[in-house]
Amino acid sequence: MSKKTTYIILAIAILAITGMYFYNKYNVAPSIDVSKLTVVDENDQKFDIASLKGKKVILSFYASWCPPCREELKTLAKIRDQKLAGYEILAVTDENLEKLTEFKNKTQYPFTFLTLTKVFSDIGINSIPTTYLLNAKGEIVYNNVGFIDWEDESTFQHLISLME
């Protein structure tokens, strides 16, 4: 094998490894231990997500400046009363309490708004929206990076069935 061929193979391998790294970093939801997340509510009171054991939870990591995040939260708010009664929706940001309160008051969405005491990247979240679905046992049964079209009936039915 010539040196040129070796260099080409090496370059392709490096590009493939780099591509896989960035794909995983920005398109795959990290494994998180929900019970270990430190979050506070709009009153700066610690909120224990594990206290929701026994309930089905939609955990959406968002930012107020993120268009796909805002669109997904808007969709969840739209279908909440008709299709998601009995489900807990937690909207978690890493923005400060002032931004959280401003966004909550502006949107008036019927969710529990929380903020992390760390930044998203500290828990491995590098792209938003990132959504986790928890069953009544508190287990993560689904995760997704990117917008979820909750109004698409087949998508909705599939996601709800995962939480059963």
Q: Is the pLDDT of residue 24 over 70?
A: no
**Above pLDDT 70, what percent of the chain?**
97
Q: What's the whole-number average pLDDT of the chain?
A: 92
> What pLDDT shows up at residue 12?
85
The whole-model pTM stands at 0.87
> What pLDDT shows up at residue 47?
95
> What pLDDT shows up at residue 158?
96
> What pLDDT shows up at residue 22?
73
**Got the DSSP string for 33-72?**
-GGG--EEETTS-EE-GGGGTTSEEEEEE--TT-HHHHHH
Q: What are phi and psi of 112, to 5 degrees?
A: -90, 115
